[in-house]
Amino acid sequence: MKAPIAESLLTYAGLGIAPMHTPGHKGGRGAHPLLRSFLTETGLRADVSLSAELDDLHAPTGCIRAAEELAAEAYGADTAYFMINGTTGAVHTMLMAALAPGDTVLVPRNAHRSIVGGLILVGARPVYMRPETDERLGIAMGVSLAEVRRAVSEHPEARAGLFVYPTYYGVANELPKIADFLHERNMLVLTDAAHGAHFAFSDALPPSAMQAGADLSAESTHKTLGSLTQTSMLLARGGRVSAERIRAASGILQSTSPNEILLASLDAARLQMAEEGGARLGAAARDAEALRARINKLPGLRSFGAESMGAPGRAALDPLKVTVSVAGLGLSGFAAEEELRRENIACELSDARNVLFLLSYADGARETGRIAAALKRMAARRSGAAGAEDAVPGLSEMPPLPRVMRTPREAYFARHERVPAARAAGRTAAETIVFYPPGIPVLAPGDAVDTAALSYLREMKAAGAHVVGAADVSLETILVTAEG
Ligand SMILES: Cc1ncc(COP(=O)(O)O)c(C=O)c1O
């Protein structure tokens, strides 16, 4: 029930110290009025870093160490590391600590770009695993145990398996079984739990990455809990990756002037969960389920729930992620998102067929009621749209996973050239090209460009699919590594 960093920082801000140190605004005295309009006077006085009382993020012995120990305890981890460069920073630190250049690592094909960035930093060799997909919803689910077994049988040399747990849509795969399987083979289990930082605090949610057996987990405290944007935690358990190695990687990748208010926000978010996490998350989960039930009564709308789980790659669902398929109204998710925005409701994301509402412990019946009312109006405006679902593109069969010719790092540092797509077969991709749906890259840096990938690109483009990642969105040219 303590918050060591937040408490030390408040004490420091109240001491009336003459700040002959950074930052240059000097406790707010010199702050521009625009900056002052965002922060309180205490907040500006607390904007300090590098003071003995406030500890050192890179070699903590005082309040940061105490706060990290409390966080580790709350998450059932051995150690927790506070991160100030988002979950991107946590993912990079995780990969830099666990892997070495040339190591093979099993990676879901629909990994977030922070993972590709981490692979470029480390120089590891990815072996891609295909996530399950849901044809009707048009979204990727998790990677199944069967797919992990396939990848391991083809690559028994792999040092680690990396998993997005849960997916952006809140789908948790069968991680506990996968972790046992990989540990029996002496492999590490790493998780990008950007969307699972709240799981540890309520039985109404899937098991947390630590409970499921991950060795290291990057958790976005700022996405689903109450810390400030840009803050995350890296959790470690089991001793398979040394604490010194993690601290060293964090020291390379993170600022030497961490913002203490960001660190205090991590501390406060953990305290908040310790105080009332179970009750608030449980209540929010009940409200989310009630919202789902209301949505599923509206003609043309559907929100999948626990009934869609229990299959490979989809063991459990975070009820707080409410995905609503709007295709039955003859609408794309993108159009529905814009329509909702005009009603002053901002979604977490949209894709070709769905919009996603992210609820948190901070939401309740008032917020879910507002969503339900807006969706009801949306459905009423399109009464008679029954059967319109076919007008919204679904999923086409994706080509087989391509061969990896070069590591993402080699592809990143190689000379590049842009070639007409029609002449790209046989070359090595130097960029990522993804369609939403299903959000699974057709090409990633280092992949062999083959004719199957090229014809899929042509088909999806002709169908008007939403392309992301490619520098030339017309897909007439593709960035490849230069020959010779
Ligand atoms: C699955 C996943 N991993 C990692 C990240 C990176 O997190 P951050 O934005 O905190 O750097 C995101 C962000 O959206 C994400 O969705």
Helix (H, G, I), strand (E, B) or coil at 165: coil
Residue 330 — pLDDT band, cuts 50, 70, 90?
very high
User: How many angstroms separate the alpha carbon of residue 93 from the centre of ligand 1?
Assistant: 14
User: How many angstroms separate the alpha carbon of residue 139 from the centre of ligand 1?
Assistant: 18
Cβ-based burial of 371 (10 A; exposed 0-12, middle 13-18, buried ≥19): buried
List pLDDT tens digits, range 36-45. Answer: 999 999 999 9
**Residue limits of CATH 3.90.1150.10 in the chain:** 278-391
In this structure, which CATH number among 3.40.640.10, 2.60.40.1730, 3.60.20.10, 3.30.300.130 belongs to the domain 55-273? Answer: 3.40.640.10
**Residue limits of CATH 3.90.100.10 in the chain:** 408-481
Spatial contact of 191 and 165, defined as CB atoms under 8 Å apart:
yes
List pLDDT tens digits, range 297-309. Answer: 999 999 999 999 9
- Which segments of 60-112 does DSSP mark as H helices, in order? 63-75, 86-98
Summary mean pLDDT of the chain: 94
List pLDDT tens digits, range 137-189. Answer: 888 999 999 999 999 999 999 999 999 999 999 999 999 999 999 999 999 99
Count of CB atoms situated within 10 Å of the CB of 377: 12
Q: Does domain 278-391 have CATH number 3.90.1150.10?
A: yes
The full 3-state SS of 306-331, as one line of letters, equals HHHCCECCECEECCCEEEEECHHHCC
**Residue limits of CATH 3.40.640.10 in the chain:** 55-273
Atom 13 of ligand 1: nearest residue by CA position = 194
Helix H or strand E encompassing 184: helix 175-184
- pLDDT of 221: 97
Q: Does domain 408-481 have CATH number 3.90.100.10?
A: yes
Using a pLDDT cut of 90, give the percent of the chain over it: 84
Nearest to 362 by CA among 227, 160, 480: 227
d(CA 26, CA 19): 6
List pLDDT tens digits, range 376-394. Answer: 999 999 987 666 665 555 5
CA distances from 80 to 5, 316, 358 (A): 14, 25, 25
Nearest to 398 by CA among 350, 439, 358: 439
User: How many angstroms separate the alpha carbon of residue 33 from the centre of ligand 1?
Assistant: 32
**Substitution site in 83, 84, 85, 87 for ligand 1 pocket (most atoms within 8 Å of beta carbon):** 87
**Substitution site in 112, 162, 230 for ligand 1 pocket (most atoms within 8 Å of beta carbon):** 112
Is 24's pLDDT higher than 70? yes
Helix (H, G, I), strand (E, B) or coil at 435: strand
